[in-house]
Amino acid sequence: MSHPDLIKSYFESLDNYDYVAERVVPYNKEIHEKILSEVSIWAPKDFDLVDLGIGPGEVDEKILEKYPGAHVTGIDISEKMLDSARLKLHKFSERAKLVKGDFDFADLGPERDFIISSIAIHNSADDDKMKLFDRIYDSLSDKGLFINADFIAGEDPQDDERDRRWYFHFLEQHLKGTELETWIMHAFYEDNPAKLSDQFKWLGESGFRKVECTWKKMNLAVYVAYK
């Protein structure tokens, strides 16, 4: 199975991602709040935002509620995830657009004020991440921001080992049996989290003038890249 098909079938297999997220993404709510607060710092009255791997659209619902001038486009490879997002976001009618596609290839559109992503880009291979960062840069308006919250790899083998053990323990505390086995397989063998230092280097090569890590705990970080 190709990697995009693997990701798609994995997320299609989850009956209730909101239930799963609490158990597999440490600090999930805190991360979403952090994205919202980064958007709030810079939000103009009207803006255009793209969410890569929108999932059930939790952050986007908050953004659309808070900012009546916001327009959101959510891209996701999984129809099931888009169905959940549709349920949450249909009340915003044309302000919320949902697109089925692979963000490693999808058209991200022109003149976006924000491109955000949470717990999604670590699924992509490093080569695809680099190409994606180029496309994100091209798609942002002059003062556009890319805000990414994601699993990361440790900077050195010891940090990486510590973070992986910590995450393994977190999963063991929250899941059991097949659920635990499935997620360990997904997190430790199929995912491709990259070091922050590598991601910052690639973002610089894509043209971003500054990248700042604004939140970090164990194997998770939120950063903002300024065009």
Ligand X SMILES: C[S@@+](CC[C@H](N)C(=O)[O-])C[C@H]1O[C@@H](n2cnc3c(N)ncnc32)[C@H](O)[C@@H]1O
Q: How far apart are CA 30 and CA 46, in angstroms?
A: 25
Phi and psi (nearest 5°) for 38?
A: -65, -40
Give the pair of three-digit tokens for residue 135.
């496309």
7 binds ligand X (CB under 6 A): yes
> Closest approach of Cβ 109 to ligand X, in Å?
15
How many residues sit close enough to ligand X to count as binding (CB under 6 A)? 22
Instruction: Check residue 53 for interaction with ligand X (CB under 6 A).
Output: yes
Residue 189 phi/psi, 5-degree rounding, is: -120, -30
- Distance, in Å, from the CA atom of 81 to the CA atom of 34, rounded to the nearest integer, reads 22
- CA–centroid distance for 108 within its chain: 15
| Closer by beta carbon to ligand X, 105 or else 181 | 105
Which position among 39, 119, 222, 225 is part of the footprint of ligand X (CB under 6 A)? 119
Query: How far apart (Å, rounded) are the C-alpha atoms in residues 116 and 101?
Result: 16
Does 33 interact with ligand X (rule: CB under 6 A)?
A: no
- 55 binds ligand X per the rule CB under 6 A: yes
Query: Is 47 among the residues that bind ligand X (CB under 6 A)?
Result: no
Minimum distance from residue 157 beta carbon to ligand X (Å): 26
Closest CA to 75 of 31, 22, 112: 112
124 binds ligand X (CB under 6 A): yes
Task: Point out which residues bind ligand X (CB under 6 A).
Answer: 4, 7, 11, 21, 53-56, 58, 75-78, 81, 102-104, 118-120, 123-124
